[in-house]
Structure 1
Amino acid sequence: MSTEFTAFKFEGPAGVWWKWIRRMRDVEGMTWEQFKVLFNEHFFPPSYRDEKAMEFMGLQQGDMTVRDYKAKFNELSRFAPSLTESEHMKCLKFERGLKGVFWKSVLALRHRVYSDLVATAICVEQEHITFLQS
């Protein structure tokens, strides 16, 4: 992904920050990884990243729907990449955060592809809701 293309869309504080970066650095040869490091260091200080990583480690579905849990899981997972670097670990973390009734149903299937696991959990939840309504 092009850093210049991405930064073109920046507005407000991000736009000001990018203008400052362009004056201070040679951005022509900047890689996407270098850009991400600079951006994250500026907008997400270590204390914030640590807080979000801890939140991810303790994440449970609780009262959320599976879709809402998935959205929160995806949002926070970027702050704890070592816990989701493999598809297997990502699935284990997601499974363990599901409500007991859903966790028991998907556990036996041993999904190791995250998208398949999420789709199954959503189906199990829908079936559970239908059962409770009948």
Structure 2
Amino acid sequence: MVDARNVNDDDDDDDDTARQEAFNSKVTEVAEGVMQANLPRLAQEVESRVLGVLEAMMTSKIEELKEMIEGSKGKGKERRCTYKDFMACHPATYDGKIDPIACQRWISNIGAVFIRSRCDKEDQVMFATGQLTLQAKDWWDAHSKEVGEDKLQEMTWQEFKEPFMKYHCPQSAVDKIQEDFLRLRQKDETINEISNTFMDKMKFCGYFVKTERMKINRFYGILKAEFREFITPSKCETLDELINLARDREIEIKRQEERGEKRSTEKGTNASPSKKARFQDQGRKDKSKHYKKNAN
């Protein structure tokens, strides 16, 4: 005899299983429906994210390429300066004359050419010494032998300048410049001429013009009286300001001279007839006296 309770339990289990399967099927159906409904949007989001990642990667690569290109351009600009590049900047020559001013000018000129041509330090001495001529070339040939080939290849511009200046700017020549500087006075020179002379000599007379005020007072003292009478040095803050005032005064003096010459010419022209009349009157008086004397 079959137990009724067991049969009922089996039926209940079958019903539960069927409901669970139906439920799972429904969930699957709903899930598939949701996915199908949202698939375009999900695909679009995925596509957007992928494109964003790709765009970021491309941007990064492009920036790297730009940096590489700019770097290659920079290296091209910083290429080694050749002797032709150096000569294209028109460096001055030096003949070896024992003249501290001329020597200093040459050193300054070559230094400026180094900057303009971007000359490498290891080439500076070789390029610069190519501009030495006559006695300066003779000195360099002798000095090169004393130094030796090995040290010559490693010589810096500063190491070259020291013996070069010592030979071409002896202390006796510097002393002479200082003496001339202290005795310097304007004669027939223009303001530009006397200021250029002053500047050239002042480079070797730093002890006498340590400050800007000392430079102003020294230059004021060398000017002619016709300039000093109309300039107050204490009102000048720089030497350039004083020189410009002297230039202005020079222009005014020239204008006054031109106006004075015109007046003199006009007076001379107007005076001629009166002088001629006086000479004629004097001649008549002399003749009158002569006739009277003979008559007596």
Q: Please classify the TM superposition score into its range, dividing by the shorter chain length.
A: 0.7 to 0.9
Which residue type is aligned with residue 7 of structure 1? Answer: T
Residues 1:60 and 2:179 aligned together: no
**How far apart, in 2, do the equivalents of 1:108 and 1:91 lie?**
7
CA apart distance, 1:108 = 5.0
- Give how far 1:79 is off: 2.8
* Alignment of structure 1 residues 118-129 onto 2, 5 Å: 118-129=243-254
Gapped runs of 5+ residues in structure 1? none
15-24 or 120-129, which deviates more: 15-24
Is 2:205 the partner of 1:80? yes
Q: Which residue of 2 aligns with 1:7?
A: 129
Distance 1:124 1:109 in 2: 17
Within 5 A, what are the aligned runs for 1:15-34? 15-25=137-147, 26=151, 28-31=155-158
| 1:95 to partner: Cα distance | 1.0
Q: Secondary structure at the match of 1:106?
A: coil
Distance 1:39 1:104 in 2: 45
Q: Pick closer, same or farther for the CA change 1:112–1:16 going to 2, 3 Å.
A: farther
For residues 45 and 129 of structure 1, the distance between their equivalents in structure 2, rounded to whole angstroms, comes to 41
What are the ranges of 5 or more consecutive residues in structure 2 without an aligned counterpart?
Answer: 1-110, 115-123, 260-296
Closer/same/farther in 2, CA of residues 128 and 10 from structure 1, 3 Å limit: same
Give the TM-score of the pair, scaled to structure 1. 0.80
Greater relative CO (CA pairs within 8 A, separation 6+): 1
Q: 1:126 to 1:48 in 2, by over 3 A?
A: same
The number of equivalent residue pairs is 132
**2:225 corresponds to:** 100
SS at match of 2:230: helix
Q: CA deviation at 1:80?
A: 1.5
Aligned-pair identity (%): 20
Which structure has the highest helix share of the two?
2
Say if 1:114 and 1:24 are closer, same or farther in 2 by CA, change over 3 A.
farther
Q: CA distance change for structure 1 residues 57 and 101 in 2, over 3 Å: closer, same or farther?
A: same
Q: 1:18 to 1:115 in 2, by over 3 A?
A: farther
Of structures 1 and 2, the larger Rg is shown by 2
Contact 2:220–2:233 at 8 Å: present in 1 too?
no
Shift of 1:21: 3.1
